[in-house]
Amino acid sequence: MKAFISVDLEGMPYIVIPGHLALKGMLHDEARRIATKVTLTVADELIDSGFDKVVIADSHGPMVNLLIDDLPDYVEIVRGFPRPLSMVAGIEGCDAAVFLGYHAKFGTAKSTFDHTYSGGTIREVEVNGIETSEFLLNAYVAGELCVPVIMVAGEAQLIKDDVKRYAPWVETVALKHSLSRLAARSPSMKIIDKELRDSVKRAVAQFRKGKTEKLTVKTPVKIHVTFLTSLYADAAELLPFARRVDALRVEYVSGSMVEAYKVFELLAMAASGLFSMLETLR
């Protein structure tokens, strides 16, 4: 069996300021060590629980965050950006998925780094009328590819708002409880290590019993993307099949969730490109 792990940073323990998140940030090295430790702990327990191989998708920012010096033989890692399916690149052909370091969607109060996919450009993403977090977006893609998400570890508010609501069968670990957008409390790494290992064991046991469901959406899939400024919607509207709904929002329809996700990736990259261009003009 082959397991898949998607790894973000904002929902990791102890990561609380912007300097943790950027490649040139003063605390990025600390964040890399934390994320690598959490990820390899989960990967190790997946192997001990009966999986033969683990595919890890490094999925934050430019997607080159995890330390790769001491990866075990059973690990294959996906790094770099842009890439097809973004945060779930490499999930095809896997049997089960785990999401690590995931965070709450944009507009969530007192939740570290709340955003949806692109904090500088996107306010909201709806899939068939449901406002989604990155967890839901990626879980929908996984489900369409017949891969159930069996475990999520990340920020506590995401687990409460989205995981427990839409996928109550998923095993969870709260790696941090936010006090504000830039503050949180987390247990010791020893406690986290034990909770992660115990959660993996329970998740795999449920998976083997066939008690883990796949999150799927009805097709065709209608996507609404609400941007932070009208400029990004101006660019998105140039896509021939995208319809401008209002100043900030566009919508489009796709035949599958995978196709819808790829179009969304393109719109997000276009908006981020404009964001970067404007920064150079200041």
Distance CA(268)–CA(131), nearest Å, equals 16
Q: Quote the pLDDT of residue 70.
A: 87
Q: Quote the pLDDT of residue 101.
A: 98
What is the per-residue pLDDT across 50-62, written as a single tens digit (0 to 9) for each? 999 999 999 999 9
For residues 108 and 117, the answer to whether their CB atoms sit within 8 Å is: no
Half-sphere exposure of 269 (CA within 13 A, CB side): 13
Long-range contacts, stretch 14-21, CB < 8 angstroms, 24+ apart: 14/176, 14/186, 15/101, 15/112, 15/176, 16/112, 16/182, 16/183, 16/184, 17/182, 18/182, 21/60, 21/61, 21/113
Distance CA(19)–CA(217), nearest Å, equals 37
What residues pair up with 149 in beta bridges, in sequence order? 97
Distance CA(58)–CA(2), nearest Å, equals 17
Q: Quote the pLDDT of residue 17.
A: 97
Which architecture, in CATH terms, is 2-105+133-208? 3-Layer(aba) Sandwich (3.40)
Give the dihedral sign, CA 91/198/43/163: positive
Q: Which amino acid, 267? A: L
So where are the chain's domains? 2-105+133-208
What is the per-residue pLDDT across 14-48, written as a single tens digit (0 to 9) for each? 999 999 999 999 999 999 999 999 999 999 999 99
For residues 83 and 63, the answer to whether their CB atoms sit within 8 Å is: yes
Let me know how many helices (H) and strands (E) the chain has, helices first.
7, 12
DSSP 193-247: HHHHHHHHHHHHHHHHTT--------SSEEEEEEESSHHHHHHHTTSTT-EE-SS
Q: Quote the pLDDT of residue 143.
A: 98
Residues of the chain with pLDDT under 50: none
DSSP H or E segment with residue 136: helix 134-144
